[in-house]
Structure 1
Amino acid sequence: MAEVPAREPRKRTTGGRRPQSVRRPKDGRPARPVVPGRAGRGRTVRAAAAFGLSTTRRAAVFAIVVCALALSVAVPLRTYLGQRDDVAVEEQRQAELRAQVEALEERKAQLDDPAQVEAEARRRLRYVMPGETPYMVELPDDGGDENDTGTGDEPKKGKAKDESWYQLLWNAVSRE
């Protein structure tokens, strides 16, 4: 077997920068000691580490906050949408009532004419002027006479008057 040469560990280069332990801020403050293992992390990690929360716990807290915000917005939004629908229905009803009021005002203006009132009285109330002779024309019923026998399913008109209510009921039930 061939021997595998051992790898030499890589050397870290600073890329022309001073090492972190010697680095000083530009605003003239004294240099802080570098904590191993925390180099390169942002402020959010430091803040979360200050509260002692792991990534999973932070995600759970974030989800709870989002749910609480969604619920606090959902109730007023539902109320707003419901009231908006109610307002639309009431506006439509108000428009219908305005149209009805206009029609009634127009009818009232028509009835201000005495000739129109007279025509309505003749037509609806069957009034006649003094000296006129009224005639009533009665048309025969379309149902027929009492002597008409009709079909076998319905009782005869003359016979129905003679039968009692319980006989009529029994006849209706027994025919099916």
Structure 2
Amino acid sequence: MAVKDRDRFSTTTRIRLLGEQTAARVYRSQTRRQARRSRLTSRAALLALVLCTLIVALAYPIRQYVSQRAEMADMVRQKERARQRVEQLRDLKARWQDDAYAEQQIRKRLHYVMPGETGYVVIDPDAARQSRADQGAADRPWYSNVWDGVDKSDASDQ
């Protein structure tokens, strides 16, 4: 027994035991770490699956929501433009209710004159060089357009 006791307290034996204990601890910690890793991996996979499912489930409704918000913004802009147009037309209607404005527009657009007045048409020298066919119908007085229509209809009958 003395030899066994000596072996038990020898440096070599103690180092060997210490190495075995350390190896056992390292093995146990590696096993725990691998077990933790595998659990984290399965948890991460489950979390990724849940997130992907949520993204897929919410993608279409979110797209619809965004497109409907854009449509609503367009409609609000259209409504504002329509409101402004209505205001312009109301202002124009109110102006036409004024006899002085109506008379001014009739004189300007239809080249009317009041009884006793003499009407003159001043021809621009540059415009005189252009043929009457080159002028747009909106740029000429209304009676010129009427006579052109009569001339065209008369020429088509022959």
- TM-score by length of structure 1 reads 0.49
The answer as to 2:108 corresponding to 1:141 is no
The answer as to 2:71 corresponding to 1:86 is yes
How far apart are the structure 1 equivalents of 2:101 and 2:128?
37
1:3 Cα deviation after fit: 3.8
Cα deviation per residue 1:42-85 (whole Å; 9 max; x = unaligned)? xxxxxxxxxxxx64455434322220111111211111111111
1:77 pairs with 52, 62, 71, which one?
A: 62
1:144 Cα deviation after fit: 6.7
Paired residue secondary structure (1:101): helix
2:53 pairs with 68, 72, 76, which one?
A: 68
Structure 1 residues 143 and 119: alpha-carbon distance in aligned structure 2, compared to 1, 3 A threshold: closer
Paired residue secondary structure (2:125): coil
Q: Which runs of 5+ in 2 are unaligned?
A: 1-9, 22-37, 131-158
Cα deviation per residue 1:81-132 (whole Å; 9 max; x = unaligned)? 1111111121012111101111110111111111211111001111112232
The answer as to 2:7 corresponding to 1:4 is no
Q: Structure 1 residue runs of 4+, over 6 Å off?
A: 142-145
Structure 1 residues 73 and 98: alpha-carbon distance in aligned structure 2, compared to 1, 3 A threshold: same
Structure 1 residues 108 and 81: alpha-carbon distance in aligned structure 2, compared to 1, 3 A threshold: same
How far apart are the structure 1 equivalents of 2:105 and 2:128?
31
Cα deviation per residue 1:9-68 (whole Å; 9 max; x = unaligned)? 98xxxxxxxxxxxxxxxxxxxxxxxxxxxxxxxxxxxxxxxxxxx644554343222201
Relative to total residues, which structure has the larger helix share, 1 or 2?
A: 2
Match of 1:111 in 2: 96
Match of 2:107 in 1: 122
State the number of aligned residues: 102
Q: Which runs of 5+ in 1 are unaligned?
A: 11-53, 146-176
Code of the aligned partner of 1:131: G
- TM-score by length of structure 2 reads 0.54
Cα deviation per residue 1:110-165 (whole Å; 9 max; x = unaligned)? 111112111110011111122321111112117979xxxxxxxxxxxxxxxxxxxx
How far apart are the structure 2 equivalents of 1:101 and 1:73?
42
Match of 1:165 in 2: none
How far apart are the structure 2 equivalents of 1:111 and 1:70?
60
Q: Which has the higher contact order (CA 8 A, sep 6+)?
A: 2
Paired residue secondary structure (2:12): coil
